[in-house]
């Protein structure tokens, strides 16, 4: 049965999609069967996996509205090592249209039930909002991975996210927990980066992943080639960091399930 994780942070541009795509490819490299779920109408994880979002006859939108199913809509990533449940702009409409439906916060969970036996990991790339789409992600998941930039405003908004996760845990999904905070776009030459990173460790202890993802231009270049950074340039610092993070994730999951 797949372990299902949301990569969430209601801020935009904090490295959610980069983390989801690279973690998917890194887990695949260590022989894990992975489905990446793109839950963001921007479709960046879809494009970053080499799936053309404008040429799709069906996307996660149809799945959420019950017009199609995961097995029909999923695609193989261009690198051919993991699967993608793609998204495009159409998904923005689901936000409003789902309000009318019964079980509206559980649409994704119910849809994924069909394929949980086929994967080891399902990774959900959330949109930058605490919206009905994100709520669907949180209701479907066992845990949340929160990417954070080590900058002055990093902690701002974290309490809103933590409160939302707590509420979902209490009212909708008892399995949900924060798996960990991932420090991304880390720049060791910046004193501030180091300070914020230290503060996160002090505040959140073991909830902070040991692996630090550095700021690395190869990770930023990779999406325009429709590839995760770990495939585009496997020996780059960014790629090596995500590979190390995947190993740390697998280890952490083993500890949690003991
Ligand atoms: P989000 O999904 O949270 O909006 P993205 O993953 O799209 O964030 O990242 C925002 C921008 O930062 C993108 O242009 C991405 O390529 C770049 N980026 C993300 N992580 C890194 C990194 N470790 N080093 C350099 N650039 C990065
Ligand atoms: Mg994104």
Ordered by where they begin, the domains of the chain are 3-256 (3.40.50.300)
The whole-number pLDDT of residue 255 equals 85
The whole-number pLDDT of residue 157 equals 82
> Is the complex ipTM higher than 0.95?
yes
CA of 174 to the centre of ligand 2 (A): 26
* pLDDT per position as a tens digit, 164-213: 999 999 999 999 999 999 999 999 888 999 999 999 999 899 999 999 99
Which residue owns the Cα nearest ligand 1 atom 18? 220
CA 249 to chain centre: 13
Q: Mean of the per-residue pLDDT values for the chain?
A: 95
The whole-number pLDDT of residue 63 equals 98
Whether residue 257 is predicted with pLDDT greater than 80 in this model: the reply is: no
CA 157 to chain centre: 18
Of 10, 18, 161, 216, the one to substitute when testing ligand 1's pocket (max ligand atoms within 8 A of C-beta) is: 18
Mean pLDDT of 71-82: 98
* pLDDT per position as a tens digit, 209-239: 999 999 999 999 999 999 999 999 999 999 9
Of 15, 145, 219, the one to substitute when testing ligand 1's pocket (max ligand atoms within 8 A of C-beta) is: 15
Beta bridge partners, 5, equal 123, 143
| Nearest ligand atom owner, CA of 8 | 1
Whether residue 254 is predicted with pLDDT greater than 90 in this model: the reply is: no
Mean pLDDT of 34-53: 98
The whole-number pLDDT of residue 194 equals 92
CA of 44 to the centre of ligand 1 (A): 10
The whole-number pLDDT of residue 41 equals 97
| Nearest ligand atom owner, CA of 12 | 1
Q: How confident is the model at residue 67 (pLDDT cuts 50, 70, 90)?
A: very high
Q: Of the given ranges (19-28, 84-93, 224-233, 249-258), which has the lowest mean pLDDT?
A: 249-258
CA of 48 to the centre of ligand 1 (A): 11
Whether residue 258 is predicted with pLDDT greater than 80 in this model: the reply is: no
Enumerate residues 6+ apart whose C-beta is below 8 A from 30. Answer: 246, 247, 250
Of 13, 149, 233, the one to substitute when testing ligand 1's pocket (max ligand atoms within 8 A of C-beta) is: 13
Show the 3-state SS of the chain: CCEEEEECCCCCCCCHHHHHHHHHHHHHHCCCCEEEEECCCCCHHHHHCCCCHHHCCCCHHHHHCCCCCHHHHCEECCCCCCEEECCCCCHHHHHHHHHHCCCHHHHHHHHHCCCHHHCCEEEEECCCCCCHHHHHHHHHCCEEEEEEECCCCCCCCHHHHHHHHHHHHHHCCCCCEEEEEEEEEECCCCHHHHHHHHHHHHHHHHHEEEEEEECCHHHHHHHHHCCCHHHHCCCCHHHHHHHHHHHHHHHHHHHHCC
Q: Of the given ranges (91-95, 128-132, 151-155), which has the lowest mean pLDDT?
A: 151-155
Q: How confident is the model at residue 152 (pLDDT cuts 50, 70, 90)?
A: confident
Ligand 1 atom showing the smallest separation from residue 215 Cα: 24
- Ligand 1: residues whose CB is within 6 Å? 12-18, 44, 128, 184-185, 213, 215-216, 219-220, 238
| Nearest ligand atom owner, CA of 223 | 1
Neighbours of ion ligand 2 (CB under 5 A): 16-17, 44
Mean pLDDT of 63-86: 97
Mean pLDDT of 40-44: 98
Mean pLDDT of 84-102: 94
The whole-number pLDDT of residue 188 equals 86
């Amino acid at each position: 049965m797949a372990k299902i994780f949301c990569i969430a942070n209601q801020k935009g541009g904090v490295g959610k999609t980069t983390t989801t795509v690279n973690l998917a490819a890194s887990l695949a490299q260590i022989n894990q069967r992975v489905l990446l779920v793109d839950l963001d109408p921007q479709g960046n994880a879809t494009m970053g996996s080499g799936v053309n979002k404008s040429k799709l006859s069906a996307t996660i939108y149809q799945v959420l509205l019950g017009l199609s199913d995961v097995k029909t809509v999923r695609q193989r990533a261009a690198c051919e090592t993991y699967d993608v449940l793609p998204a495009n702009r159409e998904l923005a409409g689901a936000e409003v249209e789902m309000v009318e439906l019964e079980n509206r916060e559980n649409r994704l969970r119910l849809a994924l039930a069909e394929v949980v036996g086929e994967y080891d990991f399902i990774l959900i790339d959330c949109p930058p909002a605490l919206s009905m789409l994100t709520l669907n992600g949180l209701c479907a998941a066992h845990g949340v991975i929160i990417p954070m930039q080590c900058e002055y405003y990093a902690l701002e908004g974290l309490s809103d996210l933590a409160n939302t996760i707590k509420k979902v845990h209490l009212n909708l999904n008892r399995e949900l927990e924060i798996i960990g905070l991932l420090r991304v776009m880390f720049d060791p030459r910046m004193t501030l980066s180091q300070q914020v990173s230290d503060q996160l460790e002090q505040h959140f202890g073991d909830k902070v992943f040991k692996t630090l993802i550095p700021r690395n231009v190869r990770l930023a270049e990779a999406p325009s080639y429709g590839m995760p950074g770990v495939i585009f340039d496997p020996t780059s610092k960014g790629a090596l960091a995500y590979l190390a993070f995947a190993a740390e994730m697998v280890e952490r999951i083993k500890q949690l399930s003991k």
